[in-house]
Structure formats: structure tokens, C-alpha cells
Chain A
């Protein structure tokens, strides 16, 4: 579904991604972790072309993201993305946030879009908040709306960029629960997160990044038991002791 082949990227002289190669198969859940500044957010943003890679290839569903002829808008509409800072549209109601892409990109009728939005808001437990504005919701609620907004496009895969990092601790689980449900329903997911509990529960593979490189890419059990690289061990011991 998602194939990243030898992707590198520079900001001026600084190399943020260094020859990254990995993949996410259909229905697979891959968790990407690593210390801050390791390039994991950049990598996930390259998957739907929000950031451009400098060299290498990224393919999604057989389409080359960095290809000159690829219709990026169309490709993006088929990949849901959830951001660390939610990025709901503050001038629209929750319902309109979930409907906008359906109306303007998928050209669904407003009845159809509303039906779908209502169903998804129900699924993330927020149907009674449909008429509210994002500012009236807690962070956890906003993030669940953002997930519904992504799902409304009936995506073939979902990308999560540190979806719980900006949340108060008591709200993290509400969001993770929605993500676990999604994973168990067979959604293809690439998730940048430090939530190792989530990783242990639903991840198929763990990708560990450091200084722009993919240092480890192994099945979940292997990652948590063997802990191949010293750097990954050190990282894990740091985030798991607390």
C-alpha cells in the first residue's frame, strides 16, 4: 500500500531524511517512533506529499507520490491524515468540518455527506457535539473529530502524526481507543507516536528512527524483546520507565 524507497530529504544543508526504506502493507499498522528531531514527522508528511522528498521514491497504492504526473489532490483525498495540533477548521461547526472534503473534493450531495458525517461522529462518540465549534471542544474531542474528518473521505490508509502528543493525559485514551478500533477494523495505518502501549496492542511492525535514518524496522514482538540497536534500547528505556 505504502512503499518508501531510499527517501532522502534536505532542508538546505541539513539532512532530515537519510535513505529511508520501509513499507506498510494493506491492513497493516506500522508505528514510527524515535527521539524528537529524528525525522519521523517529516517522513509521514512525505507519504501524502505535504512535504516533498529530495531523492528516492514513495508509492501509495501504486501511484508515485513524487511523480510529476501524479494528481496529488486526488491521491491525498484517499489518504486520511491526523495532525498533532488537530487543525480542525475553527470557523466551521464540527459537522461542517467532517463534511467539507466530502462536498468539495468527493462532490457528494449534502444529504449524503451529512449522513456519513453523522455516522462517523457517532463512531468517535461525538454525535451530540455536531453543531458546536472546535473551540468549544476539549483537545481529545477535537482530535476525534479530526479522525472522523479523515475517515469521511473513505481513505485507503490513515496517517497519524503524533496524534496524542498535544493532549492532556486523561484524554489520550479516548483518542487511542478510537485508533485501536480502527486498527482492529483492518484500516491501514502509519502512526508516529510514543505511545508504546498502543504499539504493543495493535502494531504489526515498529519503525525506529534516529537522525533521519531508519535504524530498526521489525515486527512488534521482535522489537520489544530483542531491541536490536543500542540507540533503540536507550530510547525505549527512557520512555518506558515513566
Chain B
């Protein structure tokens, strides 16, 4: 093991950091998009609007029954086809992640909404708030507060899952590292480095999620 050459990491740091930026940007946008779409789906299901809530349920079950890698792959081909023009691999995988994650987020958010006591809805309605207003001002703020640790945990999973963009060749952190590894023939060093970086961010994130959970239940 004496022939490790760590200088390959330092020498290619700008390239690796660019890749890491793509990974973080993708994670961030997918989390935000997934939560927005997921909240929308959860609200439709909870409001029990005929047809719509059935469609939302079908959507959630559909995406939860597919491997993520397949969704990424399909969307890579389908998005340009739908839009009639190429959009670049970043946007096609972003859409894939948002569509896919929304299904998971909607289930988390649905559980969060159900955890808010019925009496709170009654109290909101009793002062004359409409159903949407009651959701907006009373239920969702409480639901999200209780969900933050779970949402964060899901974001960490998503952060790891973004590495699946490998299949479409988007230059995220993993793909950038692999390019360097192959070019400089430093596979062991690079893949070890990649593993350490993923581990540090994910472990720190999990610790923080656990801390938040403990603070909430205190």
C-alpha cells in the first residue's frame, strides 16, 4: 500500500470541486422541487378530492414501484422528446429526481399532516378560516416542524442517490472523480477519496438529523 499517491487529489481539486458543486446543486434543487410537488400531492390526497386524489395516489405508487436508475434513464430520453428540444443532461436528471422524490416526500408529508391534531383544524375553521387557509397557516407549519428530521434524512438519501447520474454521464462529483481516476490511473486513491467525502457529508447530516429529532421530542 506504500505507492498511494494522494497528490492526484490536490492536483485535480478544482475539477473535483466543480463536480461536488453539481452534486450539491442537484441535491438542493431536487429536495426543494420534491418537497413542493410532494406537498401538493399530499394535500390532494388528504383533501380526498374525487379523481384527483386517486390520480395522486396512483402517481405515488407508480414512482415508488420503479427503480430510480430506470426513471433517470427514461427521463433522459423522454424530456427532450416532450419538449421537442435538447435540454442537457442536468435538467433531464433534475426533473427525474423531482418526479421520483416527490412520491417519497408526499408520503412523509402526508404522515406529518396526519400527526397534527384534528382539534387544530377545528380551531382554525371555528375562527372562519377556509380549508386551504387552515392548511396554510395552521396545519402545514406544524407538520413541517415535526417533519424536518425525516425530510433531512430523505435529503441525505437523495444526496447519495444523485451519484446515479453516472448512467447518463452528467459530470457530478463521482463522474468527475472517475474521469480523473481513469486518466491518471489512480483508481484506488480516487474512489477512496470519493467514499470519504460522501461519508463525511452523509454522516454529519445524519448526526444533525438525530440532534433535531431529539430536540423535537424533548
Contact = CB atoms under 8 A, between A and B. Distances in A.
Interface of A: 45, 48, 50, 73-81, 83, 85, 87-91, 100-101, 104-106, 149-150, 153
Given A50-B122, A104-B133, A149 B141 contact: no
Contacts of B67: none
A150 B142 contact: no
What secondary structure prevails in chain B residues at the interface with A? Answer: helix
B137 interface: yes
B126 A76 contact: yes
B138 interface: yes
Contacts of B120: 87, 89
Contact of B127 (A45, A85, A90, A105): A105
Given A91-B141, A91-B145, A83 B128 contact: no
Contacts of B141: 91
Contacts of A85: 119
Contacts of A81: 123, 126-127
B126 A73 contact: no
Given A85-B119, A90-B142, A48 B137 contact: no
A177 B129 CA distance: 29
A48, A73, A153 pick with most chain B CB within 10 angstroms: A73
B119 to A, nearest CB: 5
B21 interface: no
Interface in B112-142: 117, 119-120, 122-130, 133, 137-138, 141-142
Cβ-closest 7 pairs across A and B: A77-B128, A101-B127, A87-B123, A81-B126, A105-B128, A87-B119, A76-B128
B65 to A, nearest CB: 35
B197 to A, nearest CB: 37
Contacts of A73: 125, 128-130
A151 to B, nearest CB: 11
Which interface class (under 10, 10 to 19, 20 to 34, 35 or more) fits B? 10 to 19
A80 B70 CA distance: 54
B122 A150 contact: no
Contacts of A78: 128
A7 B182 CA distance: 80
A15 B122 CA distance: 22
Contacts of B142: 89-91
Contacts of B119: 83, 85, 87
A89 B145 CA distance: 13
A112 B122 CA distance: 25
Contacts of B129: 73, 100-101, 104-105
B128 A74 contact: yes
A77 B120 CA distance: 16
11 contacts: A79-B126, A80-B126, A80-B127, A81-B123, A89-B142, A100-B129, A101-B127, A105-B127, A105-B129, A106-B128, A149-B127
B121 to A, nearest CB: 9
Interface string B60-86: 000000000000000000000000000
A87 B122 contact: yes
A153 B123 contact: no
Contact of A76 (B117, B127, B137, B145): B127
